[in-house]
């Protein structure tokens, strides 16, 4: 193989390697070839050590002539191809390799001397071995090149097959959905279960409804906050119905190429028609069902075409008999109006956070496969977790089980449950503060919250006060409502504002205005927001029952680019004044309550600094005892005053 051909092959290999460097497989091939190049000199070249050894086992041409004349040579092998003579000496050991001598172009004198001294000599050739080595080197270049060509052909074949399937639906299909979930595994959403059980009955016994002229609903939209069990309900429907089941996410329709999403919608419904009656579940449908024409300069053409195709397939010129679509979203406000009308999504099922009874049922479901101590009351856990969704409760019991295994206990106790609740609500527990002025200040701040909340009759009950950091909070105060509340009164809102300001009020009373800290920054944001909503949205101020502000809309949903003020500057000044008056009044109330109960404040701070955590029951007991002692002192002082001044 000539040098020009070798250079061409090297250039071609380098181009192929650079183009294939974008994938791990091609990188692997490049590494193999590079390793081969590195190893070539070491395999076929002569290393310094071998060169030194060759120098020791060789003779010069003059030394060969001299030894030949002296009769010290036994046999000589002449290699005309390599121009090397292998010399065997008379006293040379049998296992010792021959000496090598570099020959001249004409070696007539050497041959004559060898003939004269009757030295055995002959000609050998290494051309065959050189040809074999050359062929091996060429194969080392050609074989990787062929492998790269095969890799390119394979990738191009895969790419062509993917291009052919680009517009196909990516929905997962199951002839009989084996989700392992039944309606008995879903708890806390009884109303939603009843609505969806009718859908299952439609699929199993349609004649019961068609006999009286009822038609199967075409779509059911599950609406609710994250974690309330929408996807779990869809799995339960699939497990109960026993019909073909398609499941897909809304984001799997939308691609960057225009028309692909619509093609996938057509392919999905075509497969569904071939397997009717069947169910189609679209999770997070807001990814494809957002309002059309929204945003600055129009919406995404690809997404809108996909939505148009979905609308047509659900209720267009051609009907879809026996196909029920179930979709889930936690953003119903962003969905297009045409998608929500009867005939497409006939039913909108609200899957909200569970109430007390629902939380208890959910805990019972998730406690089936966990070892829980008999002393643990699931009802008490349900009462302590208002606002928790089904996912939150499942995570709560799982965290408790992890803590139990970490502590090497055999069953989950109430201690692990309490720690799990704290971790889910506030975050991971941090390192406790050392005794210092900062710890004392945080204790006054947290006790201020809890004490003011306890003294106000319209406030929720205090559950726990702790100085153990969790998340980004250096101290925490938990309040738990004693009953499920859907509506909040004006007095309750003012009580919440007052208790929230109790921390800053305690700092100012004890340390003075000059020593208040930034610890109340988040508290001030909350009370300002609550007071402003009282004035502008709920009509709970002297401005009267007026709704002056709405929840801000998003510009990308077709809302206004600029938030327009719906009132004059005079009204805006009155709003600011009313917000300031509400907060100032609540702050004065918090300071008065703390000053009147300074003794119990100091007692609770000492106890909290020592124990780092005070449970709500003990906290309320101490406050009640102090109030009774104060009332007794007041009665005694009043009777003494009456005796002195009859």
Higher per-residue confidence, 305 vs 563: 305
Beta bridge partners of 324: 279
Separation of alpha carbons 531 and 581, rounded Å: 9
Assign residue 429 a region (left: φ > 0; alpha: ψ between -120 and 50; beta: otherwise): beta
Higher per-residue confidence, 54 vs 450: 450
Q: What confidence category does residue 287 fall into, taking pLDDT thresholds of 50, 70 and 90?
A: confident
How far is CA 381 from each of CA 363, 390, 401, 463, 542, rounded to the nearest angstrom? 8, 13, 15, 13, 42
Packing angle, helices 356-366 and 390-406, rounded to 10: 40
Asked if pLDDT for residue 634 goes beyond 80, the answer is no
- Lowest mean pLDDT across 250-259, 262-271, 524-533: 250-259
Asked if pLDDT for residue 49 goes beyond 50, the answer is no
Task: Give the CA count within 13 Å in the CB-facing half-sphere of 597.
Answer: 32
- Residue 190 tokens read as 């009884």
Separation of alpha carbons 171 and 325, rounded Å: 13
- Residue 632 tokens read as 């007794």
Return phi, psi of residue 428, to 5°. Answer: -70, 145
**Which domains are present in the chain?**
3-129 (3.30.720.210), 172-350 (3.40.50.300), 356-425 (1.10.8.60), 437-551+566-632 (1.20.58.760)
Whose structure tokens read 């069947």?
278
CA angle (621, 625, 627) in 5-degree steps: 115
For 54-68, write each residue's pLDDT tens digit. Answer: 444 667 777 777 777
For 563-599, write each residue's pLDDT tens digit. Answer: 556 778 888 899 999 999 999 999 999 999 999 999 9
pLDDT at position 553, please?
A: 47
Contact call for residues 269 and 276 (beta carbons, < 8 A)? no
% of the chain at pLDDT higher than 70: 75
Separation of alpha carbons 248 and 101, rounded Å: 80
Q: What confidence category does residue 169 fall into, taking pLDDT thresholds of 50, 70 and 90?
A: low
Higher per-residue confidence, 322 vs 9: 322
Tell me if the pTM is above 0.85: no
pLDDT at position 507, please?
A: 92
**What average pLDDT score do residues 539-559 get?**
69
Map 377-404 to HEC letters. Answer: CHHHHHHHCCCCCHHHHHHHHHHHHHHH
| Number of neighbours of residue 434 by Cβ within 10 angstroms | 7
- Residue 562 tokens read as 């600029």
pLDDT at position 30, please?
A: 47
* Nearest to 493, CA basis, from 459, 461, 450: 459
Asked if pLDDT for residue 639 goes beyond 80, the answer is no
- Lowest mean pLDDT across 26-40, 142-156, 424-438: 26-40
What Rg do the C-alpha atoms of the chain give, in angstroms? 44
- Residue 41 tokens read as 């000199």
pLDDT at position 9, please?
A: 42
For 67-88, write each residue's pLDDT tens digit. Answer: 777 777 777 777 766 677 777 7
| Number of neighbours of residue 289 by Cβ within 10 angstroms | 28
Return phi, psi of residue 295, to 5°. Answer: 95, 175
- Residue 270 tokens read as 């075509």
pLDDT at position 2, please?
A: 45
Helix (H, G, I), strand (E, B) or coil at 187: coil
Separation of alpha carbons 345 and 338, rounded Å: 9
% of the chain at pLDDT higher than 90: 19
For 11-28, write each residue's pLDDT tens digit. Answer: 444 444 444 444 444 444
For 420-449, write each residue's pLDDT tens digit. Answer: 888 888 777 777 777 778 888 999 999 999
Helix (H, G, I), strand (E, B) or coil at 460: coil
pLDDT at position 124, please?
A: 66
Helix (H, G, I), strand (E, B) or coil at 259: coil
Contact call for residues 336 and 292 (beta carbons, < 8 A)? yes
**What average pLDDT score do residues 314-340 get?**
83
Contact call for residues 83 and 100 (beta carbons, < 8 A)? no
- Lowest mean pLDDT across 13-22, 167-176, 278-287: 13-22
- Residue 529 tokens read as 């927001």
Between strands 84-89 and 73-79, the pairing is antiparallel
* Nearest to 617, CA basis, from 456, 495, 480: 480
In DSSP notation, 538-585 reads: S--STT-S-----PPPPGGGT--SS---SS-HHHHHHHHHHHHHHHHH
pLDDT at position 241, please?
A: 78
Q: What confidence category does residue 508 fall into, taking pLDDT thresholds of 50, 70 and 90?
A: very high
How far is CA 459 from each of CA 17, 346, 488, 508, 537, rounded to the nearest angstrom? 72, 42, 11, 22, 22
* Nearest to 173, CA basis, from 304, 242, 271: 271
Higher per-residue confidence, 163 vs 438: 438
Return phi, psi of residue 542, to 5°. Answer: -70, -10
Whose structure tokens read 């504002």?
497
* Nearest to 291, CA basis, from 331, 258, 334, 329: 334
Contact call for residues 106 and 61 (beta carbons, < 8 A)? no
Helix (H, G, I), strand (E, B) or coil at 539: coil
Most confident of 88-102, 174-188, 245-259, 512-526: 512-526
Contact call for residues 586 and 498 (beta carbons, < 8 A)? yes
564-599 b/e with 16+ CB inside 10 Å = b? Answer: eeeeeeeeeebbeebbeebbeebbebbbebbeebee
Contact call for residues 286 and 250 (beta carbons, < 8 A)? yes
pLDDT at position 47, please?
A: 42
Higher per-residue confidence, 568 vs 154: 568
Contact call for residues 592 and 456 (beta carbons, < 8 A)? no
Q: Which residues are catalytic?
A: 446
- Residue 35 tokens read as 């390793």
pLDDT at position 172, please?
A: 65
Most confident of 55-59, 311-315, 493-497: 493-497
Which secondary-structure segment (H or E) carries 500?
Answer: helix 490-500
Q: What confidence category does residue 46 fall into, taking pLDDT thresholds of 50, 70 and 90?
A: very low
pLDDT at position 111, please?
A: 75
- Which residues make Cβ contacts (< 8 Å) with residue 262, sequence separation at least 6? 305, 306, 308, 309
CA 228 to chain CA centroid, nearest Å: 18
pLDDT at position 43, please?
A: 44
Asked if pLDDT for residue 400 goes beyond 90, the answer is yes
Contact call for residues 425 and 477 (beta carbons, < 8 A)? no
Mean pLDDT of the chain: 77
Sign for the pseudo-dihedral over CA of 461, 466, 471, 474: positive
- Which residues make Cβ contacts (< 8 Å) with residue 172, sequence separation at least 6? 246, 247, 248
For 189-235, write each residue's pLDDT tens digit. Answer: 888 888 888 888 887 787 888 888 888 788 889 998 888 888 888 88
């Amino acid at each position: 193989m000539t040098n020009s051909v070798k250079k061409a092959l090297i250039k071609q290999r380098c181009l192929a390697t650079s183009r294939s460097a974008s994938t791990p497989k091609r990188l692997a091939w490049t590494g193999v070839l590079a390793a081969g190049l590195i190893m070539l000199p070491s395999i076929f070249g002569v290393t310094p050590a071998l060169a030194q050894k060759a120098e020791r086992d060789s003779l010069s041409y003059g030394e060969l002539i001299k030894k030949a004349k002296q009769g010290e040579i036994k046999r000589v092998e002449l290699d005309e191809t390599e121009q090397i003579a292998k010399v065997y000496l008379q006293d040379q050991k049998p296992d010792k390799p021959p000496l090598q001598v570099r020959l001249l172009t004409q070696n007539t004198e050497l041959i004559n001397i060898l003939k004269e001294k009757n030295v055995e000599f002959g000609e050998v050739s290494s051309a065959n071995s050189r040809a074999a080595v050359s062929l091996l080197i060429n194969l080392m270049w050609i074989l990787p090149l062929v492998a790269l060509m095969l890799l390119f052909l394979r990738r191009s074949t895969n790419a062509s097959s993917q291009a052919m399937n680009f517009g196909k639906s990516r929905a997962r299909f199951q002839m009989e959905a084996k989700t392992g979930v039944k309606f008995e595994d879903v708890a806390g959403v009884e109303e939603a279960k009843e609505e969806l059980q009718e859908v299952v009955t439609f699929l199993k016994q349609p004649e019961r409804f068609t006999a009286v002229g009822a038609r199967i609903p075409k779509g059911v939209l599950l609406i609710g906050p994250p974690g309330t069990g929408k996807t779990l309900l869809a799995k339960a429907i699939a497990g109960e119905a026993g019909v073909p089941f398609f499941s897909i996410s809304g984001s799997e329709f939308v691609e960057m190429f225009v028309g692909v999403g619509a093609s996938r919608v057509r392919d999905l419904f075509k497969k569904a028609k071939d397997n009717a009656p069947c169910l189609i579940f679209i999770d997070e449908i807001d990814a494809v069902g957002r309002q059309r024409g929204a945003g600055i300069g129009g919406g995404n053409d690809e997404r809108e075409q996909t939505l148009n195709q979905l609308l047509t397939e659900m209720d267009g010129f051609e009907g879809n008999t026996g196909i029920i679509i179930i979709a889930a979203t936690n953003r119903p406000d962003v969905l297009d109006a045409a998608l929500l009308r009867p005939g497409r999504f006939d039913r909108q099922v609200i899957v909200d956070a569970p109430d007390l009874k629902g939380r208890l049922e959910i805990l019972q479901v998730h406690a089936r496969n966990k070892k829980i101590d008999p002393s643990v009351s699931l009802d008490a856990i349900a009462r302590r977790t208002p606002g928790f969704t089904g996912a939150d409760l499942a995570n709560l019991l799982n965290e408790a089980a992890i803590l139990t295994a970490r502590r090497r206990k055999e069953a989950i106790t109430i201690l692990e449950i309490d720690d799990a609740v704290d971790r889910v609500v506030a975050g991971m527990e941090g390192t406790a503060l050392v005794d210092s002025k900062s710890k004392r200040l945080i204790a006054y701040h947290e006790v201020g919250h809890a004490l003011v909340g306890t003294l106000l009759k319209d406030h929720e009950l205090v559950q726990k006060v702790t100085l153990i950091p969790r998340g980004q909070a250096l101290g925490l105060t938990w309040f738990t409502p004693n009953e499920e509340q859907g509506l909040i009164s004006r007095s309750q809102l003012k009580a919440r504002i007052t208790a929230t300001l109790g921390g800053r009020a305690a700092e100012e009373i004890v340390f003075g205005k000059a020593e208040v800290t930034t610890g109340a920054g988040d508290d001030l944001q909350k009370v300002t927001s609550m007071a402003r909503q009282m004035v502008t949205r709920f009509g709970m101020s002297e401005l009267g029952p007026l709704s002056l502000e709405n929840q801000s809309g998003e510009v990308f949903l077709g809302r206004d680019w600029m938030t327009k003020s719906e009132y004059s500057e005079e009204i805006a000044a009155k709003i600011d004044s009313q917000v300031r008056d509400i907060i100032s009044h609540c702050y004065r109330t918090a300071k008065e309550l703390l000053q009147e109960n300074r003794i119990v404040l100091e007692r609770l701070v000492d106890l909290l600094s020592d124990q780092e955590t005070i449970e709500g029951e003990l906290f309320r007991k101490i406050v009640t005892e102090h109030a009774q002692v104060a009332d007794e002192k007041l009665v005694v002082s009043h009777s003494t005053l009456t005796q002195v001044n009859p």
